[in-house]
Structure 1
Amino acid sequence: MIECSNVTCVRGERVLFRNLSFIANQGSITVIAGKNGSGKTSLLRSMVGLVPVRFGKITLNGEAITISSTCISDITYIGHKNACHEHLMVVDILEFWANTRGNDNLIPAAVNFFELHRVLHTKFRHLSSGWKRKVALSRLLIFNTHVWIMDEPFANLDSASVAMLKELILTRAERGGTIILADHNHENTFAQAQVVNLAPEPQTQP
């Protein structure tokens, strides 16, 4: 369970959102909504310890989330940037990620699900934007954590890949995972999701 308690985000002299509180339970999907510049990315980065929380508190199962928290190991973060080494082949990227978690046995499942066998021996920089996104998203299956936090995960995906990813998210939530994502495309939201709207006075809709 991730809990945000009275979180205020300030950029320079501007308050992006104020006193944001919500709970993302196990087995739930939470969609962070808001206009460009509303603080969606800042909030997600705070949830994984990349941006310190100056006002309020964010916890995972009661432990405050910071870059050095032990609970960070139970979170997979997919940012709006793919965070892949441009000059490595896809197979090398997957092996590197798997080795950091001791999860080499999970590479085949990620390759099969995202159909990466077609690009395994291609350097990342030579891939299309859609393939780059699928390589980045494969961390979800390789890291195999309980919490997934994603910033615009559907960006650059074709309609078939969007449907595939939506099904993966739904399945993980049904199995007890906690899913939090920012999504600017209304068509990609989930009917059963909790929606957190970032505004000067945030409101949470069930």
Structure 2
Amino acid sequence: MIEIRNIAKAFGKLQVLNGIDISLEKGKIYAFLGPNGSGKTTLIKSILGLTQPDKGEIFIQDENIKDNWRYKSRIGYMPQIARFPENLNMMELFRMTMDIRKTPANEEKYISYFNLEDARDKKLKNLSGGTKQKVNAVLAFMFNPDILIFDEPSVGLDPVSHLKLKDLIREERDKGKTILLTTHILSEVEELADEVIFLLEGKIYFKGTVQNLVQTQNERNLERAIAQLLLQSEKKTKKLNLKAA
């Protein structure tokens, strides 16, 4: 479904991505983990076409995405922070998005699912942060995309809506969708992820199941396994710095 080949990206002297090679299959949920500055956001933005890599290629359904905006209609994206035109109400936002995408949508299903009926005619600027996140979720799902990308999706959601979102993500995975998730909530990763992709300093440090990560680090849970990865990385960096000195 998604093929990433030797992607590299630098911002000035800072090398953010450094030769990323990875294949992401249909019917799986991939959790992208790593400390701040590890390259997760830049990689996601590269897939979305919001950032242009310095080198390398990205293919979606065997189609190179470079200079090809049409592939974006296959993606549903739920960013961490919802930013909408505040003068519009919720339904005006949905209609505007449908006019732009020119793709069949099923907004009513998800309006009902997330209990947004009372927000139909309210200005977006007057909605709470949690309600905006639910609007964000509707936009991600309503076009039935082949690929779903979630960036810290649980931020601001109440517990019931968070559970509903997780159930919906699983349902979409079971339909054969490719799902990418970034989150700092490790229990969410343990619940949802079929595979974990751990990035450090712009490189893939680990790719595999949660269970495999815990076992290879000889730890009893995901939190401790990730802490062990970070400690190993720090030790390697210190050794390299000593050699360079």
Between the aligned partners of 1:75 and 1:106, the Cα distance in structure 2 is 15
User: CA separation of 1:60/1:184 partners in 2, compared to 1, >3 Å: closer, same or farther?
Assistant: same
Between the aligned partners of 1:142 and 1:98, the Cα distance in structure 2 is 10
1:123 and 2:126 aligned: no
Between the aligned partners of 2:154 and 2:126, the Cα distance in structure 1 is 20
1:20-169 alignment, distance < 5 Å: 20-66=20-66, 68-102=68-102, 106-169=106-169
Structure 1 unaligned regions, length at least 5: none
User: What secondary structure is seen at the aligned counterpart in 1 of 2:106?
Assistant: helix
What is the match of residue 204 of structure 1? 207
Length, aligned pairs only: 206
TM-score norm. by structure 2 comes to 0.78
User: What secondary structure is seen at the aligned counterpart in 2 of 1:84?
Assistant: coil
1:6 and 2:6 aligned: yes
1:195 and 2:196 aligned: yes
Between the aligned partners of 2:26 and 2:110, the Cα distance in structure 1 is 23
Mapped contact 1:3–1:59 kept (Cα < 8 A) = yes
Query: Which amino acid letter does the alignment assign opposite residue 109 of structure 2?
Result: A
TM-score norm. by structure 1 comes to 0.91
Mapped contact 1:98–1:107 kept (Cα < 8 A) = no
User: What secondary structure is seen at the aligned counterpart in 1 of 2:85?
Assistant: coil
Between the aligned partners of 1:79 and 1:65, the Cα distance in structure 2 is 20
Q: Which has the higher helix share?
A: 2
User: What secondary structure is seen at the aligned counterpart in 2 of 1:97?
Assistant: helix
Between the aligned partners of 2:67 and 2:78, the Cα distance in structure 1 is 15
Query: Which amino acid letter does the alignment assign opposite residue 44 of structure 1?
Result: I
Query: 1:76 Cα shift?
Result: 1.6
User: CA separation of 1:105/1:50 partners in 2, compared to 1, >3 Å: closer, same or farther?
Assistant: closer
Between the aligned partners of 1:32 and 1:73, the Cα distance in structure 2 is 22
What is the match of residue 212 of structure 2? none
Between the aligned partners of 1:35 and 1:163, the Cα distance in structure 2 is 25
Structure 2 unaligned regions, length at least 5: 210-245
Query: 1:12 Cα shift?
Result: 2.2
Mapped contact 2:105–2:144 kept (Cα < 8 A) = no
